[in-house]
Amino acid sequence: MSMEDYDFLFKIVLIGNAGVGKTCLVRRFTQGLFPPGQGATIGVDFMIKTIWDTAGQERFRSITQSYYRSANALILTYDITCEESFRCLPEWLREIEQYANNEVITVLVGNKIDLAERREVSQQRAEEFAGSQNMYYLETSAKESDNVEKLFLDLACRLISEARQNALVNNVDSSLPGEGKTISYLNCCNFN
Ligand SMILES: Nc1nc2c(ncn2[C@@H]2O[C@H](COP(=O)(O)OP(=O)(O)OP(=O)(O)O)[C@@H](O)[C@H]2O)c(=O)[nH]1
């Protein structure tokens, strides 16, 4: 596929504490694999399907912040077996508020659900937090491939739907009365 061969191009950026599984989620989706002994991301990783995987470590923060602004969607990830990664979420939200654009779609992801016996953050608590911040919430396992396709495909559907809606609004604004155009929507989004 050439670079011109697409209808929409969206930039999705993964953020969250170091070690929560951002790189593994992207690898699982883009390459269908769970990499053994995944090392820490240095700065930012860019993968086919245009997903930006940022480093969670504090020392790379100034590099990763510069990727927020042009992001269409942010996947804010924490590790369900690590309370600390959940407690840092308000700090990440402040970063989003400060650096991301106003229209960005943010999804909260609780990763590593294959480690259910080590869970430290209940699903209900995470859902309540996500709800209070107007975010979608999804639990995943990059290792077992649970909900990973769903995460990225639902997000893509939502981005397409919003892009079409914006195109429709712009179209209506610029047309004369009675000249509005009809656009049919893909109704495939399934976050809940
Ligand atoms: N059991 C389990 N382990 C996982 C899962 N996802 C990632 N891991 C492990 O968690 C560790 C960190 O994964 P990474 O994908 O490197 O984490 P990251 O968030 O990209 O980390 P930084 O690049 O440092 O920000 C690795 O040892 C992975 O094997 C998962 O779904 N289940």
pLDDT per residue over 141-153, tens digit each?
999 999 999 999 9
Average pLDDT, stretch 54-66? Answer: 69
Determine the distance separating the centroid of ligand 1 and the alpha carbon of 37, expressed in angstroms. 9
pLDDT exceeds 50 at position 119 = yes
pLDDT confidence bin for 186, thresholds 50/70/90: very low
Of residues 35 and 27, more confidently modeled: 27
Ligand 1 contacts CB of residue 45 (under 6 A): no
pLDDT at position 107 is 96
Determine the distance separating the centroid of ligand 1 and the alpha carbon of 103, expressed in angstroms. 28
Q: Distance between CA atoms of 146 and 126, rounded to whole angstroms?
A: 18
pLDDT at position 127 is 98
Ligand 1 contacts CB of residue 114 (under 6 A): yes
**Bridge partners of 108?**
76, 137
What percent of the chain lies above the pLDDT cut of 90? Answer: 51
What does the radius of gyration of the chain's CA atoms come to, in whole angstroms? 18
Of residues 42 and 128, more confidently modeled: 128
- Ligand 1 atom with the smallest distance to the CA of 115 is 1
Q: Which of 114-118, 130-134, 158-162 shows the lowest per-residue confidence on average (mean pLDDT)?
A: 158-162
- Ligand 1 atom with the smallest distance to the CA of 77 is 19
pLDDT confidence bin for 46, thresholds 50/70/90: low
Of residues 191 and 35, more confidently modeled: 35
For the record, the structure tokens of 173 come out as 């604004």
Q: Which residues have C-beta within 8 Å of that of residue 123, sequence separation ≥ 6?
A: 110, 139
Atom 8, ligand 1: which residue's CA is nearest? Answer: 21
- Ligand 1 atom with the smallest distance to the CA of 146 is 31
